[in-house]
Every structure is written in C-alpha cells, then in structure tokens.
Amino acid sequence: MNQHEVRTARLRAQIPEAGFPRGAGVASATTFVLLLLIAAFTALYLSTAGPLALVRANDAAGRVPDEVTAGQQRTTAGIAQSVATSATAAAGDLQVATGSGVFDTADDTALLTRLGETYDDWRGIAVYDPAAQKVLATRGEPVPVETLRGVAVANLTVRPVARPGDTPLVLTALPLTGPRSGKLLVVSTALRTTAGDLDEASGQQVRLVTADGAVLHTHGSDVAATDAPAQELLARAATAAAAGQSGVLTGAAVAEKTEKGQERAPVVAYAPVSPAGIGGSLGLSVVAFSRAPVEAVPVRWPGLVPAAALLVLAVAGFVLLRRTVVAPIRRLRTDALAVAAGVLGKPVRQSRIREVNRVTAALERSRAKLRRRKPAPRVRPFLSAQLVIALVALALLGWSGAVAATLGRQHAEVSPTMLSEHGLRVTRSADTLRRSLAEGLTDLQSVARLGKGKEPGELRGMLDRLAGTESRFRSVYVADAEGAVRLLAGRESLRDPGKLPDGEGLRQHNTSGRVPVVYAFTPLPDSKNVLVGEYDVPRMAGLLGSAVGRVRVVDEGRRTIADTEGYLAFSPLSDPALIKNADAAQAGKDARETTSSALVAAQRLADKGNAATLKWVVVAEQPIGSLGLADNTVRSGARVAALLTAVVALLLFAWHLLVVVRPLRRVGDQARRIAGGDTGTVVYPQRQDEIGTVASCVEICRQALTDGRDRLGEVRRPAGAATDETELLQKIVDEPAPRARPQRRQPPHAARPARPRPQAPPRVPARTPEEKAKSDYLSWLDGAGV
C-alpha cells in the first residue's frame, strides 16, 4: 500500500458510517428481497388447487367444495339448536304455569285437565310418585314414566324417549311442592326438528343419535348397511358428537358415479344437542349425511407467468439501481476521500448521473484550485437518479395494476349445487322465524287460558316469565279495550296507543320510525282486555343465522324489518337482483339466482296461518368471494400480491428519494457553492453513510481552501492552530473567565424604584479570525457527531 492509499485509509477510518438501515445500497437490496418473496408467493399461492397442491395428491382427483361442507355444518348446527328448543318447549311452559296458581288445587285430575286444555300440544300428562313408583293421575296418551325410575329429579329435567318407527318423545319432569311434595308432574311431548324437505337426489339423511351411538330417529333417505365407508363416517361422527364436538367429515376416497357420470362423495356433519336452563343432559346429537358432487380441480398455476414477470422486473430494477445510483455514489465517495486526504494528482471521475455529476464537478474544481491547475473537462450528464427510481417504481406499479385487472377480477363459476344449498338454508331460516313467531302467539294463548277469570294483576308472575331475559318478547302487557297498557312486564311498550284489532294473531304495527314494532295479541277470556307481546327485533334477526351471508326480512313494501348485519329500520331494498327475487317470492314463485357477485335467494315467510298476515319475505345474499372456490382463492391471492407489490414500489421510491436523492442534491449545492468561492459556510455531515462521508470530505476541502493544503488528510486537526483537538479544547478551558464587577451598595433611600431609563443594545465585540475559526470548527465537530 503506497503513501496515498495509507492517507486515504486513515481518513476513511476517522469518518463513521453506520450500518442498516443506512447506506445508499440498502434500499435497493431490501426492496429486491421483498420482491423475491412476493414473486414466490405469487407462484405458489395463485393456483386453482391452493398452495399445498404440490403435496396433496388427492386434489388431482377432485374434492368437495369447502362451501358445501361448511354449509352442511351450519345446517346441522341449526337443526341441533332446533331440537334443543323443541325439547325444552314444555319446560318453558311449566315454568310459566308455576306462576299462574294452577297448582293451588288439591285435585290431581282437575289440575291435569286444566293443563291439558291450556297446552293442547302436550301428548300426555301424569302425576307420578317415584317413591312408590306409581302413577297417581294421568291425561292424554300414556306417559312412559318407567324411564324415570332410579333418576334423582331435583329440578326441572328433560329426557328423550325412543319410539320405534315414530317420532321420539321428550319427558319433562317437574318436582312438585306443597301438599304434593315428593311427587313429579311428567309431561310427554313430540320432539320436533326443522330439517324440512330433504334432497333425495343427494341422499340426504338426518339422524338423532344417543350418547351410546344408538340411532333414536332418522329422517330422509336410507344409507345402505353395505356401504362400509359411509357407515364408518357416521360412526365416527356420532362418537365425536357424543363428546360435545361439532364438525364435518368428507369421504373423498369413496366417491361414486351418478347416472350422469358425475362423481359424488359422502359428507357427514355432526353437532351436539345442548339445551340450556334444564337439569341433566339430553345426550343427543344430530348427524346429517349427504352425497355432494365432487368438483375436479385441475392443478393449474396461473400465477407462474406473473411471478416470472415480477422476478424479471425485480432483477432488472435491482441491476439498474445499483449501476446508475449506488455505484456512482460509491465511486464518488472514493474520489472524495482521495481529494480530502490530499491525493490531488488524480482527477475526480465524472458521472453521467445528474445528481452525482454536480458533486464530482465541484470536487474537481476544488482539487484544481488546491493544485493551482486547470480542472479536468466536465462530462455532460444525461440521466437523473430520481428519474431512474421513478421508472423502476412505475414498472412495479404497472405489474400490480395488470395483475389486479386480470387475475384479480376473474369471476368464479358457481355450481347449481351451491345455489340449491343456499336456497335450502334460506328456506330453513324462514321456517325457523315463522315457528318462533307462531310459538310466541301460542305462549300468549296459553297464558290467556290459564288466566281465565283472573284480574290483570294476578297475571304478573306469568307475564314476568314470558318477558324474561331469554324471551323472544321485549315486552308483554295487558291492554284494555282502547289499547291502553294496564299491566306491563319487560321493557316499555313501543306500540302507539290505540285500539287493537279484533280477534288474535300477528301484526306489524308501523311502516316507518326508529324501530319496527311487531306484536302478537290474544283476548283474555271473559274480559275486554287483550294480552299483547311485542317481539324483540334483534333477537328475531338472530334466528336467521343458519342462512349464510346477509339475511334480511322485508315487508310487503320491500321495507327492511330485520337484518343480520345491522340496518336502518324500514330502509328499502335497492339492489335490482334482491328486488326481483323478493317480488318472485312474494308471488309464490321460485326465487334463486346467481349474479356476478353473489348468490341470491328469497322465501316467503308463510303461505298460511297467522304468520301469513305479515306478508314478509326472507331475502339472503351471499358474496361469491366467501364461497371458498378455487378461482376465488386465485383472485384473492392476486389482489394481495398486487397490493404488496404496490406498497413495495412506493417504499422503494420514497426510501431512495429521502435517503439518497435529496441528501445528494443538498451536498451538491454546498459543493458547488464552495467551488465557486463561497467558503464561509460550514458543511455538516447530516448522515452517517456514503453521502455523509462525501459531505465530510467537502467540508475538509472547504477548510483547505480557506487555511491551506495542510488542512487536508485529517478530520480533527484545526487549521492554523493546535495540532490536536485535545490541545485546542485545553486552550479553550485554560482561558480565564472574565471577572465579575462588584456591585455598589445602595443607600436606604435608594430602595424606591427608579424611573426606568432606555438602554442601548449591548455591543457585540468583533471576533478575531482565530476565534471565528475556533467557533466554526466546534460547530462542525458537533454536526459530524465527533
């Protein structure tokens, strides 16, 4: 290493340069790595078979769409909840009856007669003495009380009872008090479900299974005993449901051929029946079986071409930035260090990049002044670093736009099976809502019958139970002939005062306002009063959850009554597809449609009965993007890749602009000013990177032009002063401080405030050249962080 190289290395060691994230080449390297990761994501994730297609061999043969299995699971969970509601219906009736005083009579026969006339859906009623194992009184069908033998019934208890070839029964046992203490009132009711009409073409079947795996009841098509794979799936599902689990099993390995040659696979969904508010456990599970069409999933890789294009852009942009931005800056740093170290015999290499050329030309003029020679000819720049960075960022943004406009906007094809499943879920949701409204009216009718001959105040206990925290009613009250509220339970009534309709039924009170008011009403026997129950609309909307997507209930004028996603009351439907299908359902026609963005289905609430007077329609729309189709996965992945690339492009441009281009321009302006003869302003190295090193070298050249060439080669040696910064600082410390002038004591009479006199501005003594050089050097040291 020659002397010039030693001096340059020594100066280089005195100027600090920090590591990541500083540095002229850090931005291009970081964004290059990020683009490589996005390219890998694009290649692997943007495939019709998913990112794991390379390791999932069964995808080539096909699989059941995820939306079909998820819909089967939601349907099964809804049926399980319906079974639990049906099983506890009699328990709720008994809780209301306990507050009516009907148990005050000592005659068991009279008690059972009164209850049987009130609750006509009870199959049988009995008063049972478990100690003597004897039925004391009975009404209706025989009650199988023998199933309660050996069972300690301390509170309200529900137990299922199987009946071969018929709907299973539910026994509800209520421990009696008072004179009947120790005895049980046992009610038998039929266990109902909302499975509705099942699709025979897909071989649908719904089973009620006990905890030990025994089938309590089946509904739908039969599953052949010789179908071992299907029977195995059903057994596994029953075992999992008995443990309180819910899920879905797919037997893709046993797909069978239909008449049309389409493959189908068995799908088994399961969910436990979990009633609340009763003693004991039903120990039941719902297991649903069907055969779903298998969609062939060809392993296509539409993301390979975009990934390859992004890889080319990433490599080209990286090479372009390194050659036109990073390399000229590092070459400039090398030449600037040589000039600042006193190696003046070699001219500064000029650059074709405009921002770098301004610094190289200024350094070359400074070198020539220090040598007292003519500077080397200046090379004319033809390219801007900012333009290069902008071009690279625009290329990446163009790739993002192209991917978003092609793969990011492709439409997925929805099979007829999915549309049919969506329509069935809407039908079940409508049926659930209809039954809830009808059961609310039935509850009011039962209370009215139990309250026959009583004053309104005597109904307080039953009304409080009807308007409990888990009730379908927000308020229950007794109104007089003019509609005024006489006895209220629950929250305040929202119905405007006025005469109620004649008879009994369901009504929608308003078509505008803050909240829809829907109520059931029935007259009290032997009275002019009417029993009214106002439904809780948010709870009503919660019953629609079995249909996926956004589900709305609209009235005859297409005004929204309930919505699963929040809404403005009575807001009209605006989507033409929703309006079309709502009108078709209102007319009793089939209302199912696949639009470009969603599955739409509508179902009239009721064709007959009390709920038919409402003239409501249930409308549901499910976005196609939520179906989990292969094309949806590609579209979602394309949008993610496009967004990430756009963010990286903006990051690349902003990072280079703020860290490279603008600081380089600032140093260039200062270097040109110094080369032009203005050497009175200190150049501060504001960054600890290559550009900061160049700024430090420019400052050394400025001091050399001011104080002579002896200033070159050392960062810390002041010009024309001490040979070491320690000597300079010691000299500053050793200077004696000016002595303070002693204050004159004022006489006592001078304590009075004197009139203020105008003072002249303080005189600033002129600084000597040595003091000025000292101040400039200390300021430079502070800016350099030395």
DSSP secondary structure string for all residues of 369-408: HHHTSPPPPPPPP-B-HHHHHHHHHHHHHHHHHHHHHTGG
The yes-or-no verdict on residue 89 having pLDDT over 60 is: yes
Mean pLDDT over residues 318-340, rounded? 91
Helix (H, G, I), strand (E, B) or coil at 49: coil
Question: How long a stretch of residues is the chain?
Answer: 786
For the packed helices 354-371 and 385-405, what is the interaxial angle rounded to 10 degrees? Answer: 170
Cα 505 to Cα 286, 336, 518, 611, distances in angstroms: 33, 94, 11, 8
Torsion of CA 41, 43, 48, 54, to 10 degrees: -90
pLDDT > 90: what percent of the chain? 29
Q: Could you read off the pLDDT of 543-565 as tens digits, one per residue?
A: 887 777 899 999 999 999 999 88
The yes-or-no verdict on residue 749 having pLDDT over 50 is: no
pLDDT recorded at residue 45: 81
Least confident of 98-112, 238-252, 718-732: 718-732
Least confident of 59-63, 418-422, 478-482, 631-635: 59-63
How far apart (Å, rounded) are the C-alpha atoms in residues 78 and 543? Answer: 9
How far apart (Å, rounded) are the C-alpha atoms in residues 262 and 268? Answer: 19
Q: Alpha-carbon torsion 488, 493, 499, 501, what sign?
A: negative
- pTM as predicted: 0.65
How far apart (Å, rounded) are the C-alpha atoms in residues 366 and 704? Answer: 9
Between residues 721 and 574, the one the model is more confident about? 574
Mean pLDDT over residues 665-686, rounded? 86
pLDDT recorded at residue 278: 60
Average pLDDT, the chain: 82
Q: Alpha-carbon torsion 447, 448, 454, 459, what sign?
A: positive
The yes-or-no verdict on residue 125 having pLDDT over 90 is: yes
Highest-pLDDT range among 5-19, 22-36, 164-178, 744-758 = 22-36
Q: Alpha-carbon torsion 93, 94, 100, 103, what sign?
A: positive
Torsion of CA 327, 330, 332, 333, to 10 degrees: 180
The yes-or-no verdict on residue 228 having pLDDT over 50 is: yes
416-626: CATH, from 3.90.470, 3.30.450, 3.10.540, 1.10.10: 3.30.450
pLDDT recorded at residue 298: 52
Least confident of 178-192, 313-327, 552-566, 771-785: 771-785
pLDDT recorded at residue 665: 92
The yes-or-no verdict on residue 731 having pLDDT over 60 is: no
How far apart (Å, rounded) are the C-alpha atoms in residues 662 and 685? Answer: 14
The yes-or-no verdict on residue 393 having pLDDT over 90 is: yes
pLDDT band, residue 723 (cuts 50/70/90): very low
pLDDT recorded at residue 255: 53
pLDDT band, residue 774 (cuts 50/70/90): low
Query: How many CA atoms lie less than 13 Å away from 26 in the CB half-sphere?
Result: 15
Query: How many CA atoms lie less than 13 Å away from 726 in the CB half-sphere?
Result: 0
**Residues 358 and 672 sit within 8 Å (Cβ to Cβ):** yes
Q: Residue 36 CA to chain centroid, in angstroms?
A: 28
pLDDT band, residue 204 (cuts 50/70/90): confident
What would the two tokens of residue 554 be?
A: 């609209």
How far apart (Å, rounded) are the C-alpha atoms in residues 543 and 546? Answer: 8
The yes-or-no verdict on residue 9 having pLDDT over 90 is: no
Torsion of CA 238, 242, 246, 251, to 10 degrees: -20
Alpha helices in 275-414 (DSSP H): 304-321, 327-340, 354-371, 385-405
Highest-pLDDT range among 162-176, 359-373, 494-508, 628-642 = 494-508
Write out the H or E segment, with its range, that includes residue 98: none
Nearest to 271 by CA among 240, 231, 298: 240
pLDDT > 70: what percent of the chain? 83
pLDDT recorded at residue 717: 44
The yes-or-no verdict on residue 411 having pLDDT over 60 is: yes
pLDDT recorded at residue 752: 47
Mean pLDDT over residues 480-508, rounded? 91
Letter string b/e over residues 260-289, b meaning 16 or more CB atoms within 10 A of that residue's CB: eeebbbbbbbbbbbebeebebebebbbbbb
pLDDT recorded at residue 628: 63
Nearest to 160 by CA among 151, 170, 173, 146: 170
How far apart (Å, rounded) are the C-alpha atoms in residues 452 and 110? Answer: 15
pLDDT recorded at residue 16: 79
pLDDT recorded at residue 549: 84
Q: Could you read off the pLDDT of 412-465 as tens digits, one per residue?
A: 677 777 788 788 888 888 988 998 999 999 999 999 988 888 888 888 888 988
Mean pLDDT over residues 246-265, rounded? 69
What do you get for the CA distance between the two ends of the chain, in Å?
Answer: 28
The yes-or-no verdict on residue 741 having pLDDT over 80 is: no
User: Which CATH class, in words, describes the domain spanning 64-71+194-293?
Assistant: alpha beta
pLDDT recorded at residue 73: 85
86-188: CATH, from 3.30.1490, 3.30.70, 3.30.450, 1.20.1300: 3.30.450
Residue ranges matching CATH 3.30.450 in the chain = 64-71+194-293, 86-188, 416-626
How would you classify the pairing of strands 560-563 and 592-594?
A: unpaired
The yes-or-no verdict on residue 694 having pLDDT over 50 is: yes
User: Is 740 exposed, middle or buried (CB count within 10 Å of its CB: 0-12, 13-18, 19+)?
Assistant: exposed
Mean pLDDT over residues 676-688, rounded? 82
Mean pLDDT over residues 739-747, rounded? 49
pLDDT band, residue 252 (cuts 50/70/90): low
pLDDT band, residue 757 (cuts 50/70/90): low
Write out the H or E segment, with its range, that includes residue 522: strand 518-523
How far apart (Å, rounded) are the C-alpha atoms in residues 303 and 285? Answer: 44
Q: Alpha-carbon torsion 454, 458, 460, 462, what sign?
A: negative
pLDDT recorded at residue 519: 96
pLDDT recorded at residue 329: 92
Between residues 778 and 579, the one the model is more confident about? 579
CB atoms within 10 A of CB 367: 26
**Rg, the chain, Cα only:** 44
CB atoms within 10 A of CB 770: 11
* Contacts with 726 (C-beta within 8 Å, 6 or more apart), sequence order: none
The yes-or-no verdict on residue 536 having pLDDT over 80 is: yes
* Contacts with 625 (C-beta within 8 Å, 6 or more apart), sequence order: 597, 632, 635, 636
Place of tokens 């539409």: 302
pLDDT recorded at residue 751: 42
Q: Provide the residue type at 613 as one letter.
A: T
How far apart (Å, rounded) are the C-alpha atoms in residues 356 and 667? Answer: 10
How far apart (Å, rounded) are the C-alpha atoms in residues 581 and 621? Answer: 11
The answer to whether the bond into 175 is cis (omega within 30° of 0) is: no
pLDDT recorded at residue 721: 37
Place of tokens 């001078």: 750
The yes-or-no verdict on residue 487 having pLDDT over 60 is: yes
